[in-house]
Amino acid sequence: MRLLPIVAGCALALAGCSGDPAVAPSASPEGGPLLEVADLPGGYQTSPPQPSAEVSAASSVSVAGCEPLLDAFRAGFGDAGPTARFEGGSTGPFLAERLSTGAAALDGQRDLARRCGSFTETDADGATTTVTVAPVADFPALGDESAAFRVSAGGGTGDDSYALSGYLVVARQGATTCTLVHFGQPGVDRAETEAIARSAVGKLRRRQ
């Protein structure tokens, strides 16, 4: 499966098909530091965990080292540490959260966005997906330090064309870093992204 496919009933690998029963993420205990449905705007439900994705050996990216960015949007961080996943419908919005210790995740995402400002993935059939990543300089400051990036992806032609966009937000509160991916087809509301990010950091702050 190539990056960000649109198939009947499911927009992305990150989303469960509409109508599937909601499955609570195993790494998100009730009342824990991860986001829960009650913390989100109306319309979201939990999504089943996905295995950690890897860019297929039959696929290639035009800028070496950008695969982790694709994997985050493809599988919502998989099972890499404490994670939570949500969806608001078959075409989004989709939301994934991961918690990690220390500032390495924030530094790593800044470096990834700098190196992967524009690149393409080419699958085994020669179809391409174009991805752009840009810092959002006026995104509200969160926690002790934070960074936000707008990510857009698209490809295909005619009836097979698609376009998706959203945000990658990374914020450190104390010793914990929260990474959020929020996107949809064709996009998501920025104000909603900001509200979700504030809720996520607020949960971390209250547990300090």
What tokens does 52 get? Answer: 């950690």
Residue 7 lies in a domain: no
Within a domain: 53: yes
Q: How far apart are CA 172 and CA 166, in angstroms?
A: 20
Q: What is the pLDDT of residue 205?
A: 93
Within a domain: 17: no
CATH number at residue 178: 3.40.1000.70
Q: Is 3 inside a domain boundary?
A: no
pLDDT at 79 over 70: no
> Which residues constitute the domain of residue 184?
37-206
Specify the pLDDT at position 57.
53
Residue 21 resides in a domain: no
Q: Would 172 be classed as within a structural domain?
A: yes
* pLDDT per residue as tens digits for the range 86-139: 999 988 999 999 999 988 888 988 898 889 999 999 988 888 999 999 999 999
In a domain, 129, yes or no: yes
Out of 18-22, 116-120, 164-168, 183-187, which region has the weakest mean confidence (pLDDT)? 18-22
| Number of domain units in the chain | 1
Its pTM surpasses 0.85: no
- Tens-place pLDDT, residues 54-74: 444 567 889 998 988 877 777
Residue 39 per-residue DSSP state: G
Evaluate whether residue 170 is within a structural domain: yes
